[in-house]
Amino acid sequence: MATPGEQTVKDAHVGKKKKPPARYWQDDVEQTEQGLQHRGEKPQGKRKRKHEEHHTNEKNFISGKLDPFPGPAPVPEDRVQKFKRKEKTKKPPREHYKLRDIIIRSEEASEMAQKQAARFDLLLPEDAGFLEGDEDEDTCTISQEDIADAVDITSGAKYFNLKLSQFGPYRVDYSKTGRHLLLGGRRGHVACIDWQSKQLMCEINVMESVNDVKWLHSETMYAVAQKKWLYIYDSNGIELHCIRKFNDVLRMQFLPYHFLLATASATSFLQYLDVSVGKEVAAICTKTGRLDVMCQNPHNAIIHLGHPNGTVTLWSPNQKEALVKMLCHQGGVRSVTVDRTGIYMVTSGMDKKLKVYDIRAFKPLKSYFLPAGASSLSLSQRGLLSAATGDIVQVYRDVWSTPVTKPYMAHRVQGTVWGLHFCPFEDVLGVGHGEGFSSMLVPGAGEPNFDGLDANPYRSAKQRQEWEVKALLEKIQPELISLDPSELGQVDHATFQQRHQDRVQALGFDPLAEEKFVPKYKKKGRSSAGGVERRKRQVAHEDQRDVIRETVEDKMKVEKERKEKEKKKAALSGQTSALDRFKR
């Protein structure tokens, strides 16, 4: 009882020949050990071991203290729900043991993944806030200056105006990390700025009208849709490419995970450029006239186009016709935008209405009437909607869940708003207008937590390079773009014929087709037209003949068997009538 620890130690060291070096207390220890050995009863030792097992199971501490919070830390149910991926299937009543193993294992893994993700969600430290007015004070009456004064100096510095009245209304684009700003003036002025440090990276005038500007996958390259062609510049303002295949481009969208630059042109062409290999992936003639309304669905990389006849069409590079065509407005569509989760689409039209759609079900959710109509829309990462009406920029909160009667924020800029873009991971809305650019503070707009491996606003050049390589390796092929991104995980139900058809289409010829018989040319006049025909006739319908021959043979066989059977039967019956002799 006294030192059972020694006992176990003894067990552990059974068979060990090496002895520890002798110490000054050694003889004492020896003695005690001896004594213990004499005293140690075997059954007790056994019992001890059992105890040990029991206790390790219950995770007791050495001191014998009980864990006040046994088991793993609980994860809140709603957070677990957030990471859920589809339902698990019902277990079939009687399954193959292999199937059972597979199902159990996969369920286990996905459950673990879900739980772990939920647990690690704790590590996202930042929280989003919102602007709150005093009682009976509208948040939309709070001016930007007030906000800038109230917030800390770094955030306050994010409210600024650039006075660029010379080169006319500006289009705006933020890079994916939200660190860099690209401005494209209508009259040819293109500038890229590290807007947080207000450092000008480059500034050029392309001496042509600029329709749209867009960052490519990183802040080293950007595309400019100029009067005639599409150009690609690097961050120093050096022209890298002039892409003549893409002409009269009006709007552009960049699909970051596919490395695709989608362009919509005045000639009603929707074109896709793979910027990783510089190849045109698809060129689709939409046959719907001038395309100057465009946006992408970040969830499934589908391009949405708005048309003057009030329809919005959805496109993928894999199909020459629109995936979906929905009638949204009675007038033309002026602007379209889709939220980050790919659930909601917001459109504004000539009929001065603003509509919210559930883009998964293609059903309208909300409809608002804006007295002046919205010329351009933009959705932030956290679902704030900014709408530009004339020279006023309005920001709305929760347009889809609760009917909104007044904007969350409003701000007047100098000229007509021409481009709107929320900055990712920042509470900033960039507004390009006739008199330049203004960056306004919109509390609660940006996602507070960024994924360091995906879009890291604070990354160094080295990290960017690493990221670029990884992103290129993980590039998603354009064939995988479809309305339902989970379609890849489904089993193809197509029939063999359909698949064969697809194959023929992909290959350009039918691999299973039999080649036609061409008679050999014979010399010395033996290849006369009649002779050739005769030779052809010899092999004509060869396959059919085979089939016919086989079927005839089969039939004969069956007939023969039947007859034999009958004969046997007759013989067995043995009752022959007198008239049987006349039988044939």
Partner 1 sequence: MAKISKKKVSKKSLKKSTKAPDKVTAVVYDDEEDLNEADDNITSEEEDEEDDGGDERKRQKLLEAISALGGKRKKKLGERSEAAVHMSEFTVNAEGEGDKIDLAELIGTIEETPAVPARTKKQLKSLQQSKRTIECPLSKQESERIQRDVAFQKASAEASRWKGIIGQNQRAEQLIFPLNQEPSGPKPMERVVTGWKAQTPLELEVFALLSANKQPINDPILTPAEEASLKAMSLEEAKIRRAELQKARALQSYYEAKARRERKIKSKKFHKVQNKGKRKELIKQFEEMVKADPAAALEELNKIEMARMQERMSLKHQNSGKWAKSKAIMAKYDEGARKAMQQQLEVNKELTQKLVTSLNNEEEKEKEETGEAEVIPDFANDAEQGLDSSNPWMRGKLSEDLTDKEIMIVDLTAEEATANTAEKEEDEEKAEEVEETEQETLLREFDSRRKLRQAEEAKTGPEICVDDEVESKDEAEVLDASDKEEEELSKFTSLFRGLTDRHCDAENEQAEAAAVGSHMDAQLEEGLMRIRTLEDVELLIHKGSATDEAPAQPQLPPTTETLPSATLKEGKNRKRKRGIQLEEILTKETKVIQVQLTPTVEDTEDSNEKLDQRGLIKEAFAGDDVISDFLKDKRKQEEAGKPKVDELTLPGWGEWGGMGLKPSRNKRRRFRVKTAPAPPRKDQHLPSVIISEKRNSSISLHQVNSLPFPFENHAQFESTIRSPLGRTWNTERTVKKVTKPKVVTQLGAIIEPMAREELIKDKKQVSVGNKSSVDLGKRNY
- The binder of partner 1 chosen from 81, 165, 309, 463 (CB under 8 A): 309
Six-digit token string for 357: 């759609």
The only residue of 155, 267, 375, 527 in contact with partner 1, by rule CB under 8 A? 375
Helix/strand/coil (H/E/C) assignment for every residue in 99-140: HHHHHHHHHHHHHHHHHHHHHHHHHCCCCCCCCCCCCCCCHH
Cβ closest to partner 1, residue 202 vs residue 283: 283
Our measurement of the distance from residue 34's CA atom to the centroid of its chain's CA atoms, rounded to an integer in Å, reads: 71
- The stretch near partner 1 (CB under 8 A) out of 295-303, 359-367, 441-449, 461-469 is 359-367
Q: Which is nearer to partner 1, 371 or 530 (CB)?
A: 371
**Pick from 348, 389, 438, 439: which binds partner 1 (CB under 8 A)?**
389
Task: For residue 482, give both structure tokens.
Answer: 């479809």
- Shortest distance in whole angstroms from residue 86 CB to partner 1: 5
Question: For residue 520, what is the DSSP state?
Answer: P
- Candidates 71-79, 91-99, 189-197, 549-557 — which segment interacts with partner 1 by CB under 8 A? 91-99
- Closer to partner 1 by Cβ: residue 151 or 350: 350
Per the listing, tokens 């347009």 go with 399
* Residue nearer to partner 1 on the CB measure, 390 or 519: 390
The structure tokens listed for 373 are 């109509």
CA dihedral 246, 247, 252, 254 (to 10 degrees): 10
User: CB under 8 A: which stretch of 99-107, 170-178, 198-206, 551-559 binds partner 1?
Assistant: 99-107
| Shortest Cβ 204–partner 1 spacing (Å) | 22
In the complex, what is the shortest distance from the CB of residue 312 to partner 1, in angstroms, rounded to a whole number? 10
- Residue 219 makes CB contacts below 8 A (sequence gap 6+) with 175, 177, 179, 180, 192, 201, 235, 464
Q: Which of 51, 7, 124 is nearest to 447 (CA)?
A: 124
231-290 binders of partner 1 (CB under 8 A): none
Per CB under 8 A, the segment of 221-229, 328-336, 439-447, 458-466 that binds partner 1 is 328-336
CB of 243 or CB of 410, closer to partner 1: 410
**Which residue stretch of 128-136, 175-183, 315-323, 458-466 sits at the interface with partner 1 (rule: CB under 8 A)?**
315-323
- Pick from 165, 498, 528, 551 the residue near partner 1 by CB under 8 A: 498
Q: Which is it for the CA torsion 76, 81, 84, 86, positive or negative?
A: positive
**Which of 460, 481, 43, 573 lies closest to 218, judged by CA?**
460
As a whole number of angstroms, the distance between CA 262 and CA 254 comes to 6
Using the contact rule CB under 8 A, the part of the chain among 87-95, 153-161, 295-303, 520-528 near partner 1 is 87-95
Residue 161 near partner 1 by CB under 8 A: no
**Residue from 204, 351, 448, 456 in contact with partner 1 (CB under 8 A):** 351
Contact 59, 70 (CB under 8 A): yes
Report the nearest approach of partner 1 to the CB of residue 113 (Å): 4
User: How many residues belong to the chain?
Assistant: 584
Q: How far is the CB of 4 from partner 1 (least distance, A)?
A: 6
Find the binding residues for partner 1 in span 503-532 (CB under 8 A).
505-506
**Does residue 475 bind partner 1 (CB under 8 A)?**
no
Number of shown-chain residues binding partner 1 (CB under 8 A): 135
Q: Report which of 192, 190, 237 is spatially closest to residue 210, judged by C-alpha positions.
A: 190
| DSSP symbol at 65 | P
> Which one among 40, 60, 237, 360 touches partner 1, defined by CB under 8 A?
60
Q: Cα separation of 346 and 354, whole Å?
A: 7
User: Nearest 5°: CA angle at 84, between 82 and 89?
Assistant: 155
Kindly calculate the radius of gyration of the chain based on its CA atoms and give it in whole angstroms: 38
User: Which string of x and - marks every residue 63-82 that binds partner 1 (by CB under 8 A)?
Assistant: -x------------------
Q: Which residues, at least 6 apart from 450, have a Cβ–Cβ distance to it below 8 Å?
A: 177, 425, 456, 457
Give the shortest CB-335-to-partner 1 separation in angstroms.
10
**DSSP letter string over 33-57?**
HHHHHHH--HHHHHHHHHHHHHHHH
Residue partners of 68: CB distance under 8 A and separation at least 6 = none
The one among 19, 136, 369, 513 contacting partner 1 by CB under 8 A: 369
> Quick one: 170 or 195, whose CB is closer to partner 1?
170
Please pick, from the candidates 240, 482, 527, 535, the single residue that binds partner 1 as defined by CB under 8 A: 482
Site string for partner 1, 162-201 (x = CB under 8 A): ------------------------x---------------
Is 138 a binding residue for partner 1 by CB under 8 A? The answer is: yes
Residues 410-439 that bind partner 1 (CB under 8 A): 410, 412, 415-416, 434
What is the distance between the alpha carbons of residues 215 and 202, in angstroms, rounded to a whole number?
A: 13
Tell whether residue 120 is a contact of partner 1 (CB under 8 A).
yes
Is 567 a residue that touches partner 1 (CB under 8 A)? Answer: no
- Quote the least distance from Cβ 232 to partner 1, whole Å: 26
Piece of 173-181, 390-398, 526-534, 555-563 that binds partner 1 (CB under 8 A): 390-398
Which segment (151-159, 170-178, 473-481, 555-563) binds partner 1 by CB under 8 A?
473-481
**What's the CA gap between 306 and 294, in Å, rounded?**
6
Question: Cα(336)–Cα(379) distance, rounded to whole angstroms?
Answer: 10
Question: 3-state SS of 540-557?
Answer: CCHHHHHHHHHHHHHHHH
39 binds partner 1 (CB under 8 A): no
Is 367 an interacting residue with respect to partner 1 (CB under 8 A)? yes
Q: What is residue 475's DSSP assignment? A: P
Q: How many CA atoms lie within 13 A of 410 on its CB side?
A: 11
Interface pick for partner 1 out of 373, 383, 432, 443 (rule CB under 8 A): 373
Q: Under the criterion CB under 8 A, does residue 321 sit at the interface with partner 1? A: yes
- Give the amino acid at 28: D
